[in-house]
Amino acid sequence: MAGMKRGRDVVSANDLLNLLDRKRLPNHIAVIMDGNGRWAEKKALSRVRGHREGVKAVRDTVKTCRELRIPYLTLYAFSKENWDRPKFEVKTLMHLLKRYLALEEKSLMKNNIRLKAIGALSDLPSPVYEMLKRVMKKTRKNTAMVLVLALSYGGRTEIIQAMKKLFHSRRKSLNGSIDIDEQTFSGYLYTRGMPDPDLLIRTSGEYRLSNFMLWQMAYTELYITETLWPDFRKRDLLEALLDYQQRERRFGLTGDQIRESEETHHTRLNRFHRQ
């Protein structure tokens, strides 16, 4: 991959696409879209302009994931902490979100993409919340891909709320004890019913999770790129996917155990096909 990055002007997105193993793509990609403000500052533009340009990166990323048949794409669009930003910036972000939802509704339907949102959605301004609910309802039967927007989202808040819901639902049957496993707890998270992310992409070169999907990221592969979000395009996503495919996902096991498991699986599969 290092050679590819040095030769960005030579290696095209189609060249990268041809290198992908379509059988080893992630089921769920999560993205921390960072760098809108810095992109604008570098160009002596307003932060608002940076956010507007970031919408183009969203469209391109969604389109590429749909083309690659990635089942789930989650975009960290607005955190709980973002409410503390200057009021004008927050107002602009909410306006852009509402406008994006209105403009992309037809595209989501055309491409058979379901829209889902996670977070403290009731925090959103009423017009934005109503638009979000409308588009989610309109696309709820789409099956090709799920686009998830994390809005007013905080990982710690999600975990605390999940604990409250779990204990509330079990209060009458506790009898002094309660049996909780990971699967049970996951059923009370915003992401219930969704697979955990296989790959997290963070733009702008920051090395932190920023309170994003703390429970779900236990075994997620992390990919950090210096590219600022407004500049993130198809070739950047393909580079992340190629990097992901070079890794061996162990989930706490040794490399030998993983390979032995894969060999056993392939042996059983070959026997099945011969029957």
Residue-wise pLDDT tens digits, 89-139: 999 999 999 999 999 999 999 999 999 999 999 999 999 999 999 999 999
Task: State the DSSP string of 213-236.
Answer: STTTTTTPEEEE-SS-GGG--HHH
Which of 9, 21, 27, 34 is labelled catalytic?
Answer: 34
- pLDDT the model gives residue 256: 62
- Decide if pLDDT at 181 tops 50: yes
Q: Is 161 exposed, middle or buried (0-12, 13-18, 19+ CB in 10 A)?
A: middle
- C-beta separation of 187 from 165 below 8 A: no
What spatial distance separates the first Cα and last Cα of the chain, rounded to whole Å? 41
Q: Is 112 left (phi over 0), alpha (psi -120 to 50) or beta?
A: left
3-state secondary structure of 205: coil
Domain extent, residue 204, equals 2-274
Tally of structural domains, the chain? 1
Check if 211 is active-site: no
Confidence band of 11 (pLDDT split at 50, 70, 90): confident
- Check which CATH number belongs to the domain holding 91 and give it: 3.40.1180.10
Report DSSP state, residue 188: T
Rounded to whole angstroms, how far apart are CA atoms 17 and 77? 27
Q: What is the pLDDT of residue 180?
A: 84
**What 3-state class would DSSP assign to 82?**
helix
| Averaged pLDDT score across all residues of the chain | 89
Residue 1 pLDDT: 43
d(CA 225, CA 239): 10
pLDDT score recorded for residue 147: 98
Side-chain-side CA neighbours of residue 211 (13 Å): 18
Is residue 82 part of the annotated active site? The answer reads yes
Q: What residue has token string 């107002």?
A: 91
Measured distance CA(41)–CA(55) in Å, rounded: 17
Q: Residue 235 above 50 pLDDT?
A: yes
Residue reference for tokens 């703390």: 214
Q: How many C-beta atoms surround the C-beta of residue 16 within 10 A?
A: 19
Q: Which of 60, 82, 123, 243 is catalytic?
A: 82
pLDDT band at residue 169, thresholds of 50, 70 and 90? confident
